[in-house]
Amino acid sequence: MRVITDLDEARRTILARRPPEEATLPPRMREGVRRIFGADLSAAEVVGRILADVRREGDAALLRYTEALDGARLENLLVTEDEIAAGLARTAPEVVAALRTAAAEIEAFHRRQLRQSWLAFEAHGTLGQAIRPLARVGLYAPGGSAVYPSSLLMSAILARVAGSRRSSSPRRRGATARPPAILAAAHVAGVHTIVKAGGAQAIGALAYGTASVPRVDKILGPGNIFVTLAKERVFGLVDIDALQGPTETLLVADDAANPGLAAADLLAQAEHDPMASAILLTPSAALAARAPRHRGAIARPLPPRRDRRLAGRERRHRRRAGPRDRDRAWRTPTPLSTSACWCATRWPWSAWSATPEASSSARPAPRSWATTSPAPATSCRLPAPRASPPSTSRSSSKSSA
């Protein structure tokens, strides 16, 4: 863990942003690249090779890379309806109920974002904008390190609300691990096609189309550095939602925050990816000292292998920056522009007004989020300014004289 008490130094180091193509792969990833490709390639070079092969060879390249990268030798690339039904049956009823509740909340949120077609009849003619849903979208469901049915729901429900008629979801780890919760989430969200592949090769299949995987109009969903670079590379051939990975999370908190929950939030983000970055920004020296002490208690219930892996990532990437005054802390998220920014403070609206570039949604925090304090603590979630507004619609403007 790295602790920085000077905000100017933090801006130059841990808060600095770099384009994904300049990312440095961790040693274990570099070793895997050398083993598979026979050369010390950058992440961008790896993605370039994979996309070129998928575009040229189609299913054959998709099967080959799924075996080489994920250790899964597949006989077919698509999950059958029977497999989806079996996954739903194996999922605990309370998990299915939680997925349905989450789906309803996500749908209610996105229905408020829907854009409408409009016409204006003017003296010189008629102006208007027609909003039409895309026919087919691809929903990337990350899963190389853990299971994230919520990520699939957030992309799939958005596509459904927008009116897309078909949706495809690649699934990482091929045939070796198709967690029932992912299949249950796909069922709840109404996903039509699930591909037994992930990574850059799955992005290529969605963008170019193969004999088994239909080409899509837009690709949504987060992923690791290879997925992010692949989405960047195919943008223009297909549309994308944003470049969300690897995970970059900033937690802005003051002395009203519960240190145990602050640590849990950081650890939950650190497990996403070996290159994930979780940063606690606080003007409270007490919180900066207390939050790391909860790490062992939080990670202890995890399986030993996952606990060790998470501990390594947490040591490399969880950092603390302690600006000396609250107002400077609130102004920091704007230039950082992380993929997710959370605010756990007494007065989160101060943070919101200090970061005008970020569109924000806020809700009262659970009581346990705050320690005993004279003022109520509230949680404010600030979505990333760099991400484009969620949309799976195509719009066109016309005028007639």
Q: For 259-290, what is each residue's pLDDT tens digit?
A: 888 888 777 777 666 667 778 878 888 887 77
pLDDT, tens digit (0-9, with 9 covering 90-100), for 143-159 = 766 678 888 999 999 99
Position with higher pLDDT, 336 vs 293: 293
CB-count burial class (<10 Å; 0-12, 13-18, 19+) for 109: middle
Instruction: Give dist(CA 369, CA 181) in Å, integer.
Output: 28
Q: Choose the most confident range, by mean pLDDT, from 169-173, 180-184, 276-280, 329-333.
A: 180-184
Instruction: Give dist(CA 227, CA 212) in Å, integer.
Output: 20
Residue 347, pLDDT > 60, answer yes
Domain ranges in the chain are 2-20+246-383, 81-243+390-397
Q: What are phi and psi of 313, to 5 degrees?
A: -65, -40
pLDDT, tens digit (0-9, with 9 covering 90-100), for 353-376 = 655 444 333 333 333 343 323 333
Angle at 389 between CA 384 and CA 390, to 5 degrees: 110
Angle at 96 between CA 91 and CA 98, to 5 degrees: 135
Residue 180, pLDDT > 80, answer yes
Position with higher pLDDT, 20 vs 394: 20
How far, in Å, are 207, 301, 385 from residue 361 at the CA level?
32, 32, 13
Residue 161, pLDDT > 80, answer yes
CB 61 within 8 A of CB 211: no
pTM of the complete model: 0.72
Q: What is the mean pLDDT of residues 189-196?
A: 89
The pLDDT of residue 302 = 43
CB 242 within 8 A of CB 212: no
Which conformational region is residue 194 in: left (phi greater than 0), alpha (psi within -120 to 50 degrees), or beta? beta
Give yes or no on whether 2-20+246-383 and 81-243+390-397 have one common fold. yes
CATH topology of domain 81-243+390-397: Rossmann fold (3.40.50)
Residue 44, pLDDT > 90, answer yes
The pLDDT of residue 166 = 79
- Tokens representing 16 are 């600095």
pLDDT band at 313; cut points 50, 70, 90: very low
The pLDDT of residue 353 = 61
Residue 60, pLDDT > 90, answer yes
The pLDDT of residue 334 = 47
Q: Name, in order, each residue with C-beta under 8 angstroms of 299's C-beta and a sequence gap of 6 or more.
A: 267, 307, 310, 311, 314
Mean pLDDT of the chain: 75
Strands 2-4 and 361-363: unpaired
CATH topology of domain 2-20+246-383: Rossmann fold (3.40.50)
Instruction: Outline where 134-293 has alpha helix (H).
Output: 149-162, 180-189, 199-208, 225-234, 259-270, 285-290
Residue 39, pLDDT > 60, answer yes
Strands 218-220 and 193-195: unpaired
Q: What share of the chain is helix, strand, coil (3-state, %, to 5)?
A: 45, 20, 35
CB 360 within 8 A of CB 261: no
The pLDDT of residue 26 = 84
For the chain, give the number of residues.
401
pLDDT, tens digit (0-9, with 9 covering 90-100), for 79-126 = 988 888 999 999 999 999 999 999 999 999 999 999 899 999 998 899
Instruction: Give dist(CA 345, CA 257) in Å, integer.
Output: 6
The pLDDT of residue 230 = 96
CB 10 within 8 A of CB 4: yes
Residue 335, pLDDT > 50, answer no
